[in-house]
Structure 1
């Protein structure tokens, strides 16, 4: 076997931290590896079993697949897993308190304000709004609308979502 063949058979590994857990994922075409063409959404759902991240349009138009990577919301259906080496990823499964099982205050506010219906788009909407309140704990209604501008949901009115975010951040927030 020549050097080029040896290099092509060498497995490359990428490292991800997802919801506080470190993963080493071999990149390749064999069973049990992540293909170079796999999206982060596919890897989260099919390889890691984190099915809360939804794939809807699979073209980056609806926002359902939104996760937080390195502190910023991204469309996981448009991001290749191989581009995420060394990244810190937060999914909807990471919002719940791991010790107590309590919902994140934002999740609880969505429940209290009926800010979801079928729930398919809700994980992506929650992740975008979580990223927003991580950056600005007391966002205005306009900044909430801006954070939601990449989301398309046919089941609910975004008014309930905006109200839920306002309620979750009401301690000292200006929501005019």
Structure 2
């Protein structure tokens, strides 16, 4: 007698993939990881995986979204220096911005894009639109409440967890950063 049947484990899981060409272009704009997001997307496409997923367009995180974890002063500074890519602001070092996390024009938009994409993925799970939700360009988890760290300007992993905690008491996060 087979243990396989019509159990819940045998059903095909619905997968959402948070993606848009604009999002990939924004993620690829950083000089330390050029074209990484596009290469990952191209690999997914080449393996024919897109036909097994629903594409979900990400939204940009608002200042309010990111302030669920990050301090207002950090976000305001990131927004200010992002306008012109001001590397000379003496306050930037206080916020972890410099060699490890360089200041470039548009960095706030990048942070808002990544944070928003992960929150979008979490929202898909909350609304039960899927069983698995993926933001392949996310996972920038080194940023602290009030500073950038480890080339992470916003901690999108924490933003996603906080979104999931709106419904779920516990969330398991596994870091496979090598």
TM-score normalised by length of structure 2: 0.29
Whose relative contact order is higher, 1 or 2, with alpha carbons under 8 Å and at least 6 apart? 2
Structure having the higher strand fraction is 1
Structure having the higher helix fraction is 2
